[in-house]
Structure 1
Amino acid sequence: MPGHRSITDAEKLVEAKLGGLPLHREQMAMVSNIYRAASAVRQHLENSVLRGCDLTWTAFVVLWVVWIWGESETRKVAEEAGISKGTLTGVSRTLEAKGLIRRSRHPSDGRLVLLNLTGEGASLMRRVFPEFNEEEAFVTAPLTDEECRQTAEALRRVVLQVETRGEERRLTLLDGAEPAPRRSGRRPKA
């Protein structure tokens, strides 16, 4: 791939650029490699197992969440999938058009939308997940079962740190201010 640098090349470039700065190098490498590993695994799974059933990573994660948790309100699905409610709206409409998910109004609060797998969606997940899991085994093949358990536990602790203390840290860093609104990248309308 033109322009592609290996993880080793990237680490050498970072050291050359940042060598004199007082940094938390092991922590920087950990966070960088979490991102790189997640991107590499996502791309591999999208280009292998998920391509065959015409699903994106995000669509698969939404199906997974609803498959595991059962009928769920969209806000909870978005939260569990790690996506915005706006993104979920588009993904769930696409999945609904494919006949994999059903959207319905909440029985006691018509403002809320519930998601549930259709029979076809549940059948797809029962068929695809074992293939997906085989690729999970493939991408982790260089690790022993014990290394997988230890890495999973370490990553759980990272997630827990952000979930339990991240908001407090954000408030400290921003002196209690709200973060600036995200920009979409679109030009303002004239």
Structure 2
Amino acid sequence: MTGSHTLQATEKAIEDRLAGMQIDTGAMWAVSNLYRATTSIRNHLEQTVLRDTGLTWTGFVVLWVVWIWGDIETRHAAAESGISKATLTGVVKTLESYRYVQRARHESDGRRVVLSMTRSGKKMMENLFPAFNRQEAYVVRGLSDVQRKELAASLRVIVEQLEEPDRD
């Protein structure tokens, strides 16, 4: 029978299952805990600050990307958001229905589409992001300023390594 297990119980079960295997347990624990942390953080933010907005995590990320970068082609918005163009299409339809973003044809190439933030989208982000950031602070409240900086730097190294074109 399966169900929700504590982190400690999960780690013990994994150690038992993998006993005797030649694996890099340090890498496994780092990636496993990174995955669990990001899932927990996403769930927390969706259940707190995003709950009453009608935005999903992905919708928020796309809105954030357009807010930060301004007018942006859909292919770049998808890449910056870490989602496929097909997923972006559905998300943009929802954001358009809320009147947070709008689509327009690229001025020099009608086959390309550009996303722009509307006035109500800007207002939404200006009001939402401070609350979002308060929850970000809540998530890392157990870390010192030095630990926060070290964590951010370590994660940046991982991201930059995976973004390199010649990776294995």
Q: TM-score under structure 1 normalisation?
A: 0.86
Partner of 1:89: 89
Matched AA of 2:21: L
Shift of 1:168: 3.8
Match runs of 1:38-49 below 5 Å: 38-49=38-49
Task: Kindly state the Cα deviation for residue 162 of structure 1 after the two structures are TM-superposed.
Answer: 1.1
Cα contact 2:103–2:114 (8 A) shared by 1: yes
Higher relative contact order, chain-length normalized (CA < 8 Å, sep 6+): 2
DSSP 3-state at the match of 1:51: coil
Q: For residues 1-190 of structure 1, what are the structure 2 equivalents within 5 Å?
A: 3-164=3-164, 168-169=167-168
Q: Distance in 1 between matches of 2:142 and 2:167?
A: 37
Question: Quick one: which amino acid aligns to residue 31 of structure 2?
Answer: V
Q: Provide structure 2 residue ranges, at least 5 long, that are not aligned to the other structure.
A: none
What's the TM-score, normalizing by structure 2?
A: 0.97
Q: Deviations over 1:96-142 (max 9, x none)?
A: 01111011100110000100110000000000000000000001111
Distance in 1 of aligned mates of 2:109 and 2:60? 27
Contact 2:161–2:167 (8 Å) recurs in 1: no
Task: Provide the C-alpha distance between the structure 1 equivalents of 2:159 and 2:68, rounded to a whole number of angstroms.
Answer: 20
1:168/1:141 Cα in 2 relative to 1: closer, same or farther (>3 Å)? closer
4+ residue runs over 3 A deviation: none
- SS of the residue 2:128 aligns to: helix
Aligned-pair RMSD on alpha carbons?
1.1
Q: 1:80 Cα shift?
A: 0.4
